[in-house]
A and B are shown apart, each in its own frame.
Chain A
Amino acid sequence: MREYLLGNAAIARGLMEAGVGLAAGYPGTPSSEIIETLVNLKGERPMHIEWSVNEKVALEVAIGASWTGTRAAATMKHVGLNVAADPFMTLAYLGVGAGLVVISADDPYCHSSQNEQDSRRYAQFASIPCLDPADPQEAKEMAAFGFELSEKFDMPVMLRPTTRVSHARADVELKAASGGSGKRRSSKFIKNPAHRVALPVHARPLHSELIRKQGAIEEALLTAQWNRLALRGDLGVIASGIAGLYAEEAIRDLDLDVSILRVGTYPAPSRMICELLENVKSVLVVEELEPVLEETVERLARRVKPDVEILGKGEYIPREGELDLLTVRNALARMSGIPQKPAPAHVAGIDKILPPRPPALCPGCSHRATYYAMRKAFGRKAVYPSDIGCYTMAVGMGTVDTCLCMGASITLGSGIRFGGEAEGICCSLGDSTFLHGGMTGLLNAAYNKARITVTILDNSTTAMTGHQPHPGTGVTATGEPTVRISLEAISKALGAGLVETVDPYDLEAAVESFERARDYPGLSVVIARQACVIRARRSGGARRRFAVSEDECAGCRICVDFGCPAIEFQDEKARINALCAGCGVCARICPSAAIREVAR
């Protein structure tokens, strides 16, 4: 049976076909749909699927299940693996019980990320195998194969899709999902201190063992179906993952007789690389981001064919951004000495007439109101450390001065204070981000007496990645009701001196609350609570309607500068368009009181 499937849905199918018993993840583009699809596929199967509080937690939960004999998967985006790096690195020493697959989805070109790190480096760093799929079908097969490999070598296996695999669609051949309770070797945690307790006395021999296994892993992966060698001419291409598709297509397009090795597994298949090298005079290494494969090729070439010409990162293949057919085609054409195809010329003048269309906060988004109130109270000179979420898009409002990584607003703000900054410091981060990585920072700020204000933008969901629940929502990944954590109680428990909750739509009250927080001689927390407008719209409910009285509009543009997409400015007057969500904040900021609620 074939289905047109999203890469992430295909990965979820692969996990199901292999009888995964537990899946844990934290949402992050481009990985989020894996857990969501698993929830949809779960049915009555006795599986545990969870949105974890963060990626470190997700991986540790998965490890626990694996050690209890249940096949387990942890899903995250590439930067999430930084958070999970601590358990990830030592897990390679301790090993698994049942198979464990770590899925780290990379985002070359930063479509929706703060950097474009290459997870293959992490697998290499931890000395564990990495599977680099080219398309949804491979991603599905690899997800299932990862468990076998993990069990065979007693170590975790990484599956590393990229945006163009996770968010690609393809016709995918499916098998029936395993109907059982997941592959279980046992349902008991088996005590084995030498392999479960990372004391130095255990870690030393485990590290030696890990190093010893490497050759056998490479040998086992040599026959994997994703490593394919076709010898055709004295020019060669070695391509990893999705780059293999661009290379194959470019070879067809140019009608070239070149040898090609497609690589889908790491450690890379040395013997196949050597075989290709022995048959060519030049080789082009095609891979996205880091020269992981290229470095292996260079190392092997020194041994088997030092005079072979190796082309790759730098002049031929960029180290940043994502690849496409044209880039790879031109690299191949250049190597073959045939004319390159220029990218279609930019049509002259288009840039001048085309208005930019940047992503923006939604009409009626409460973050906009919160930032407006915050800025009113704290002023232009204050410092505004911010964080990762929809609200980062408010950078134009002057209240997003930093964005580094999950939860860093609070710790950066603390450091900025201790570094000598005397102006007001008002941090902001979302509810899910606070629970993910902000709580330890708040605790640290309280303990070390940072005089800052922390604003939790609480829209009661993880909005940016598609509205996943978290501990503040009272619902689990599978929709079951659970304990609902109070942000107020957590903030107080972590040591904040002043904790206030406001409705950002009530602008005057919000400004007053920020003023009290600003003047508080210690650590203050403002929780700005209002439902995400996308969720509010989906759940129905009457929306209020607002209109500008044209006679009373002074054309001052204060409402326009507020930046809501529902407010337009034409012929020196403001106007409210059909996008209006009815939050009413513009009516509160209009100095002429020209914006009023009207009957629907």
Chain B
Amino acid sequence: MRSSECDVVIVGVGGQGVILISDVIGRAAVKAGKPVRGAETHGMAQRGGSVVNHTRIGCSLSPLVALGSADVLLALEPAEALRFCQFLSPDGVVLVNTRPVLPITVTTGKASYPSMDEILQPLRQLCKEVLTIDATTLAKQAGTEQAMNVVMLGALSRFIPLEEELLLEALAEVVPSKYLSANRKAFALGKTEVESGRQM
């Protein structure tokens, strides 16, 4: 018997706003009366390094998602999707922001960044569905590139058992009020992108 309703692993690069996504989900889950657990990266790993966040909706046990059991892998950066693909359940879904953030090993020419195909091919073999989203561009359309994480949250909203109103209510609690309308727009763009992407 599984111990959670939905397991989400959110990955990215320090500074991209991974924790905000988990905070919104957690607050929305509390509003929905569901237990929720999460685990986040602080300290040394944040300085431009990879960050990974575990968020488990409808769970009152371990804060960590087990390897091979994430229902959704939400990647704010494409290479990070591949780095943490071991968390994916074979029935899982990956949502990938297609905009790379080059690590210092690449900018200094010590390593090279893989092509989008090299990233997406293995992901497709590992799980049920891979959806790509140009979240950075959509965030710009919404008014601020900073809202890339909220575009991804909007996309994620189609895959988690939490009502949209509750997510938006929680979003309003964590985003400064002067950026709220841009963030709501970002959320909507992310959601629509997934809906139209899936129809194709």
Residues of A within 8 A of B (CB): 2-4, 6, 29-30, 111-112, 135, 164, 167-171, 242, 245-246, 248-249, 252-253, 255, 324-326, 329, 341, 343-344, 346-347, 349-350, 353-362, 390, 393, 464-466, 557, 560-561, 563, 565, 567-569, 577
Contact = CB atoms under 8 A, between A and B. Distances in A.
B2 A253 contact: yes
Interface stretch (B57-65, B157-165, B176-184, B189-197): B57-65
A359 B49 contact: yes
A103 B194 CA distance: 45
B40 A568 contact: no
Contacts of B118: 353
Contacts of B37: 135, 168-170
B64 A170 contact: no
B42 A355 contact: no
B126 to A, nearest CB: 7
25 contacts: A29-B44, A111-B41, A169-B38, A169-B39, A170-B38, A170-B60, A246-B62, A248-B3, A252-B3, A253-B1, A253-B2, A253-B3, A325-B64, A343-B68, A344-B67, A344-B68, A349-B122, A355-B105, A355-B106, A357-B83, A359-B44, A359-B49, A361-B47, A393-B44, A563-B104
B107 A354 contact: no
Given A4-B23, A355-B106, A577-B107, A167 B39 contact: yes
B147 interface: no
B86 interface: yes
Nearest to B89: A344
Given A170-B38, A171-B35, A252-B1, A111 B45 contact: yes
A358 B49 contact: yes
A114 to B, nearest CB: 11
B183 to A, nearest CB: 18
B166 to A, nearest CB: 12
Q: Which 10 A-B pairs have the closest CB atoms?
A: A112-B43, A29-B43, A4-B26, A359-B49, A355-B111, A169-B38, A357-B103, A168-B63, A325-B66, A359-B47
Contacts of B126: 344, 347
Nearest to B126: A347
Identify which of A248, A325, A563 gathers the most chain B CB atoms within 10 Å of its CB: A325
A259 B36 CA distance: 26
Contact of B38 (A168, A341, A465, A466): A168
A361 B108 CA distance: 14
Contacts of B88: 344
A358 B63 CA distance: 24
Interface in B7-61: 13-14, 22-23, 26-27, 29-30, 34-50, 60-61
B79 A355 contact: yes
A350 B85 contact: yes
B42 A563 contact: no
A153 to B, nearest CB: 31
A534 to B, nearest CB: 9
A565 B36 contact: no
B45 A359 contact: yes
Contact of A390 (B1, B3, B47, B79): B47
